Chain A
Amino acid sequence: MSALPDFKNRARAALADPVLKVAIDRTTGNAERKRAAAVAAFPEFEAARARGKAIKDHVTAHIDHYLEQFERNATARGAQVHWAADDAEARAIVTRICLAADAKLVTRAKSMLGEEIGLPHALADAGIERVETDLAEHIIQLAGEAPSHIIWPAMHRTREQVAELFKAGHQPPPAAEDPATMVQSARRVLRQKFLSADIGISGANFLVADTGATCTVTNEGNAELTTTPPRIHIVTAGIEKLVPSTAHAFALLRLLVRSATGGEMTQYTTFHAGPRRPGDADGPEEMHIVLVDNGRSRMLANEFREMLRCIRCGACMNHCVVYRQIGGHAYGGTYPGPMGSVLTPVLDGLAASRDLPNACTMNGRCAEVCPVGIPLPTLLRAWRRRSWREGLEPGSLRAGIGIWAQLARRPRLYRLATRIGLPLMRLFGKGGWIARLPLAGGWTAHRDLPRPAARSFMDQYRARQKGRK
């Protein structure tokens, strides 16, 4: 067993996996290029971004009003609205509905909130068969894994690895390894499930307050097949997904899709407003909407409020140097990348996740691309501040910073320390470089350190000033 904390262990394992790196580079690299092109071709992007930010902030400020309005309108359309304060309650509500309906088979359209509340496990524990219908989710279900990206859950897997999974998991196995044949094979397997499922569970990208509708976007149409044929449709959604009206949903959708995939619109954008009405040809008999808080109302009142703007586009992770080296699983939570590093401490507690806000270079690229202007580095720094205050930062770091600060607060002593320290440090070097320096192993393990100057700037400058006089 290594003595490293979990995050460092997971990151190290990810760094040692060359296939993972190829897979991440391929997907995030493409996403980065496509987003850049989409933004360049959308001259009003900045205005749209300001509008998106304003919409989300407005809803956050008036969340009670919009929640009530949504509940009223959704109920009027025949949906049943449930409230879940945390993940356990959300799981309990969903399983209760499933058990009451005597459901054997549940299809699920990709939803990060479902992951957040631990729905896959809860369904398994209740003895209910769960089938993931999103192609990427289908892949990771076969692999027994969690998503590693919020838009491309299986992006860590190469096509070759997927072919192996399909060969073992599909009956009969796909005839060839080309993408078309593999997709056909997944379709065949999934279609049987779509038609025999008792319940379909989906997330929602938006909850439209003035119509009571939920809105779900996909590029595969699997959400429609998940939510329409089964008898019961369950929507699980975080309360921050509210928007005042359909027009607002579309305003955010334009930002979401361009930022996520570089497209203009998703292939499928579906609004669900209540179950089947008398005379409707199809649709579920019951529709349940589970509104999940799980830490969100706490964020309303603290320094992480701006995080409630997040529309889960994934742009921050696609542009993050750290994510691109270690991938999503290393983060160890439901949400990876910069947004995950802000959200995971909210969901799992800071003590269990203090590495995440620290494992960031503060380069600011995530905030630069975030379509709703979330200042991610500022929020990460807020976690670091809390972690320092709560004494969660390691003693070695506290001591190091403490000694440094004590010196830096006394300029004369600081000068003296550099006068003594620099020649000492130089002893470890040869030529212009130091290849190994005690206490700086993290640096010299991977790179050389330029040998410090024999005399500091300040010493040289003072000597020069004296000479001038």
Chain B
Amino acid sequence: MTGEPKPTVGLFVTCLVDAIRPQIGFATLQLLEEAGCVVEVPQAQTCCGQPALNSGDDRDAAHLARQTIAAFEGYDYVVLPSGSCAATMVHGYPDLLAGDPDWAARARAMAAKTHEITSFLADVMGYAPAGRRLNASATYHDSCSGLRELGIAAQPRALLSHVEGLEMRGLPGNDVCCGFGGTFCVKYSDISNAIVTEKAEAIEETGAEILLAGDLGCLMNMAGKLNRRGAKTRCFHTVEVLAGQADGPAIGEEAL
């Protein structure tokens, strides 16, 4: 390393990671530090506001957007272990606050430095994990917001290719929605169930031991369905494997 100052990163943990699977937050933190960043976790963060935004409740969504911007605008970068929350900040915030003279420029500035974790590591930091090994077969689901709104497809795969022993298998329909859709899966649970059932079948057919994805919402949906079907597939967020934490409990496995 040269003497350049390390970039500061504000880590947004996402409400689901905070409550359901903190390991993802710690894996993200570890990777960012390995990549040479100074990481802080601002305490004023809660939720990015996506549930309100997607329900049409723009007022609450805008409030949460302003709160989040205020908490994070002091860092060089804002990084999230979620493509869909990152997309909310990158595209949603500037739209929401476009008509607000005090906040429009701040929202755009925040959007410009906000990144999903795998694209941040690969594209911005040029980081590649070293010395990781996992003897397993895995398949990867491309979550929709990350894929279509942020163009995340090559980065997680490139990073995963550095994990020795990991055999990646193609997933037919890898870019087809798993049926999560935030509140969709609860509001239209029958339709969501039909969609995730097809997804689970496709995952099971790959015979892969592990399912990976970059969004906990989608992972919970697929993991929950796979478990209900009695499948043995273990589900992890991509960063958990990249950080060498896949020897711990998978989603839905209790720590001993």
Q: Which residues of A are interface residues toward B (Cβ below 8 A)?
A: 8, 11-12, 15, 321-322, 325-326, 358-365, 367-368, 381, 383-389, 393, 397-398, 401-402, 404-405, 407-409, 411, 414, 418, 421-422, 431-433, 440-443, 445-453, 455-458, 460-462
Q: Which residues of B contact A360 (CB under 8 A)?
A: 181, 184
Q: Which of B114-122, B126-134, B144-152, B162-170 contacts A (4 or more CB under 8 A)?
A: B144-152
Q: Give the distance in Å from the alpha carbon of A389 to the alpha carbon of B197 in the complex.
A: 34
Of the residues A367, A397, A409, A455, contact of B22 by C-beta under 8 Å: A455
Can you identify 10 A-B contacts, CB atoms within 8 angstroms? A8-B190, A361-B144, A361-B184, A361-B195, A411-B67, A421-B19, A422-B19, A432-B251, A451-B252, A457-B26
B54's nearest neighbour on chain A, judged by CB, is A362
Q: Interface majority SS on B: helix, strand, loop or mixed?
A: helix
Known: A385-B58, A457-B13, A461-B41. A397 touches B181 (CB 8 A): no
Residues 19-66 of B contacting A (Cβ, < 8 Å): 19-22, 25-26, 41, 43-47, 49, 51-58, 60, 63-64
Q: State whether B196 touches A447 (Cβ < 8 A).
A: yes
Q: How far is the CB of A387 from chain B (nearest CB, A)?
A: 6
Q: State whether B43 touches A458 (Cβ < 8 A).
A: yes
Of the residues A359, A393, A411, A458, contact of B188 by C-beta under 8 Å: A359
Q: Which of B72-80, B98-106, B153-161, B224-232 contacts A (4 or more CB under 8 A)?
A: B224-232
Q: Give the distance in Å from the alpha carbon of A364 to the alpha carbon of B144 in the complex.
A: 7
Verify if B8 is at the interface (C-beta below 8 Å from A): no
Q: State whether A407 touches B46 (Cβ < 8 A).
A: yes
Q: How far is the CB of B191 from chain A (nearest CB, A)?
A: 6
Q: Give the distance in Å from the alpha carbon of A402 to the alpha carbon of B59 in the complex.
A: 10
B61's nearest neighbour on chain A, judged by CB, is A405
Q: State whether A321 touches B227 (Cβ < 8 A).
A: no
Contact residues on B (Cβ < 8 Å of other chain), bracket: 35 or more
Q: State whether A381 touches B54 (Cβ < 8 A).
A: yes
Verify if B192 is at the interface (C-beta below 8 Å from A): yes
Q: How far is the CB of A423 from chain B (nearest CB, A)?
A: 11
Q: Which residues of B are interface residues toward A (Cβ below 8 A)?
A: 13, 15, 17-22, 25-26, 41, 43-47, 49, 51-58, 60, 63-64, 67, 144-145, 148-149, 175-177, 179-196, 220-221, 223-225, 227-228, 249, 251-254
Q: State whether B22 touches A457 (Cβ < 8 A).
A: yes
Q: State whether B46 touches A447 (Cβ < 8 A).
A: no
Q: State whether B254 touches A431 (Cβ < 8 A).
A: yes
Known: A411-B46, A443-B185, A457-B17. A15 touches B190 (CB 8 A): yes
B63's nearest neighbour on chain A, judged by CB, is A409
Q: Give the distance in Å from the alpha carbon of A15 to the alpha carbon of B15 in the complex.
A: 32
Q: How far is the CB of A414 from chain B (nearest CB, A)?
A: 5
Q: State whether A364 touches B149 (Cβ < 8 A).
A: yes
Q: State whether B189 touches A409 (Cβ < 8 A).
A: no
Q: State whether B224 touches A448 (Cβ < 8 A).
A: yes
